[in-house]
Amino acid sequence: MQKMLSLARKCVDDYHMINPHDRIAVGVSGGKDSLALLVVLAELRRFYPHPFSLTAITLDAGYSEMDFAPVAALCECLEVPYIIKKTEIGKILFEIRKEKNPCALCAKMRRGALNDAALAAGCKKVALGHHFDDVAETFMLSLFYEGRINCFYPVTYLDRKGVTVIRPLLYIPERQITGFARRQALPVVKNLCPADKHTKREEVKELLRELERTHHDLRERIFGAIQRYPLEGWEKR
């Protein structure tokens, strides 16, 4: 826990993610990353110099087999209010539109629904569970499939909604989050999306794994280049 907290706090401080009396909605998909984010922020809340509050929000995409009761129990233990927002995202993508490559549209729809749910809960900040590995993968996805040097930002202000998105786990590698989730026995909910593990992101993950067999610090170099350049939005404040 201490290492996770230390890295998350450094990221929060480097990019001034949390201000006094922020009301932060944590996007909780039920995956290991979002659950780890929730636990880390709940612990950080106890001693961070700027007081802030948390609300956990899960978007139910409409897959009937998904059970979020264990997530609700975790939130109760952490003393974090929990909201499940019902949506028809799954039905729209796979039954109505029959999308062959649904990830981009799904992400857009989920972002919109999460931001709306956050505002309805009185939260103007939304915390997402993107981590260190996601940075390198997103950078490579943008380069390969969009022909752009681009990545998401540590902090993003959405002026149309009046919502600020923060990503406190950006300094934490996925393997560390995996170990943390196992040690903490986090109630990970299996992803039932039909496209899971069959995406362009998964292809890039595999490519990076292959390249790292000979270039062991490849992700660190990509992340460092983004910060040193710095890529737009990655300037430390």
Domain CATH code at residue 198: 3.40.50.620
User: What pLDDT does residue 95 have?
Assistant: 76
Question: N- to C-terminal Cα distance for the chain?
Answer: 26
Which band of pLDDT confidence, cut at 50, 70 and 90, is reported for residue 64? low
* Domain-embedded: residue 235: no
pTM of the predicted model, to two decimals?
A: 0.92
Which band of pLDDT confidence, cut at 50, 70 and 90, is reported for residue 47? very high
What phi-psi label fits residue 167: left (phi over 0), alpha (psi between -120 and 50 degrees) or beta?
beta
Q: Which two tokens stand for residue 94?
A: 């796979």
Q: What is the mean pLDDT of residues 116-140?
A: 97
Q: What is the mean pLDDT of residues 110-127?
A: 96
| Domain around 98 | 2-228
* Domain-embedded: residue 93: yes
* Domain-embedded: residue 236: no
* Domain-embedded: residue 157: yes
User: What pLDDT does residue 236 have?
Assistant: 86
* Domain-embedded: residue 233: no
* Domain-embedded: residue 202: yes
* Domain-embedded: residue 203: yes
Q: What is the mean pLDDT of residues 5-28?
A: 98
CA 154 to CA 2: how far, in whole Å?
22
Q: What is the mean pLDDT of residues 134-162?
A: 94
* Domain-embedded: residue 149: yes
Number of structural domains in the chain: 1
pLDDT tens digits for 174-193? Answer: 999 999 999 999 999 987 77
Q: What is the mean pLDDT of residues 192-209?
A: 83
CA 83 to CA 59: how far, in whole Å?
9
Residue among 26, 218, 44 at smallest CA distance from 137 = 218
Largest CA distance in the chain: 49
pLDDT tens digits for 31-41? Answer: 999 999 999 99
Residue 142 pLDDT greater than 90, yes or no: yes
